[in-house]
Amino acid sequence: SDDWTDGIPNDREIIAVAEGLLMYFTKEQIRGLLESLRDAFPDGYLVCELMHPAMMKEDRHDTIKATKAKFGWGTESGHDLEALCGDFTLIRETSLSQEMKKYSLINKIAAVVIGNRNNRVAVFHWRASA
């Protein structure tokens, strides 16, 4: 159901934030979410966290080891998500490991080891066809 968007003004640009969320959805669920955003809001931005498939082993993550949570779909690039709904355009994608290497030696080492296989923050824009 798309009623979760009811009551949110749609007469201006919106910003939707999906941090720590999409990696638990299947590819089809993510497509449905993108289509819901596009259909409910004519113009907006999506800021989201994307997880690389190589990092989607539940036993690696302390935050979900003791739960029944399961990862759904990971992306090697924001372009993977962009392909799900052609109305979304990738504006920018930043690897968290590449960003964190600025702050300490251990993060520099981790960035070399992990490369761009870490989670990324991506920004997408969509606009309804006129």
Give the pLDDT of residue 30: 96
Given a cut of 60, is residue 1 above it in pLDDT? no
Dmax (CA) of the chain: 50
Give the pLDDT of residue 31: 95
Give the pLDDT of residue 84: 92
Give the pLDDT of residue 78: 92
Residue 96, CA distances (Å) to 15, 36, 99 in order: 21, 28, 5
User: pLDDT of 44-103, one tens digit each?
Assistant: 999 999 988 887 776 666 667 777 788 899 998 999 999 999 899 999 998 776 666 666
